[in-house]
Amino acid sequence: MSDKKGDFAFKTKDTMGMYHEMTYGGALSFLRRKYSQDLNGVDVAVSGVPFDNAVTYRPGCRLGPRAIRQASVQLAELDAFPFGFNLFENLSIVDYGDCHLDPHHPETIVKAIQDHASKIISQDTKMLTFGGDHFVSYPLIKSHAEKYGPVTLIQFDAHCDTWEDTGGMDHGSMFARAVSEGVIDASKSTQIGLRTYNNSDHGFEILTSPWVHRNGIDAALEVIKNRAGDSPVYISWDIDGFDPSYAPGTGTPVVGGLATWQGLELLRGLEGLDLIGMDIVEVSPAYDVSEITAIAAATIGHDFLCLLAKQKGAKGNIIGRI
């Protein structure tokens, strides 16, 4: 670790190792990782897409990437729980910064995000992306499908996001479009936590929030993993998959959702799948309380990175009953 004081996100030459900053000082990056667009030898690039023109209710999730980065500070200086290893000694991670786009020219948005993602994953670096509204998942998934073929989508959400696609920019219909275009393989995909109605499943397996509450984590994981098999898996996590009591800072909250502990157990249980990328979307800081939504999002992102570290061979020393 560098002996320079503070601002390691700018000063360090390394993409591995843990940096100790003042809690409320220093350059703000996700998990205090180095800011870099040099992806040589980098396992994962963290990036933001600050866009929310496609929302249908409360706006503000364009501010989500900043809020999640800020909330990640408390996760940056401890070994990973419950994994039992130092994430930063096992995975090379950089904060790539945000996708540059012009919200005043919506016709350019899909291409801008898709080009941004393709530039990263073409270098065999995986992506963890923070939105932004859920529409940003569409160009992200298109980029991943260009590299990996049709992807298996594991979607945590209160809403199906497969309502009728009218060809516009809408965070409630883009997965119907993605299925129709063949970039998502719905026959292997699962939606978890839904609690709003649509008259078609578009080929997805749907595990509603009440079903998860009644049947439990293990039953849900059995369905998800059996369906996905060895296919390339992309996770898209709309923060409103959580109940508003756990994640109030979002644009379209729906009661009756997952608890954060359920979400984390489901995510951690995806170990063994071929995870190729993830986005976390719809965090709207203006409606948050005590940063609990942003903290939940940052923790999800952290644990996804831990799954990638385990996929790479990281082994932990587990203390206590997990």
Where do the domains of the chain lie, and which CATH numbers do they carry? 30-311 (3.40.800.10)
Q: What per-residue confidence (pLDDT) applies to 12?
A: 81
Kindly give the parts of the chain with pLDDT less than 70. Answer: 1-4, 172
CB 171 within 8 A of CB 106: no
pLDDT at 4: 56
| Structure token pair of residue 103 | 């919200």
Find all residues with CB under 8 Å of 234, minimum gap 6, and list them: 140, 141, 144, 151, 152, 153, 154, 276, 277, 278
pTM score, whole prediction: 0.94
**What does the pLDDT read at residue 21?**
77
pLDDT at 3: 52
pLDDT value for 173: 77
What one-character DSSP code corresponds to residue 17? Answer: S
Residue 296: its H or E element? helix 292-311
At 37 the pLDDT is: 96
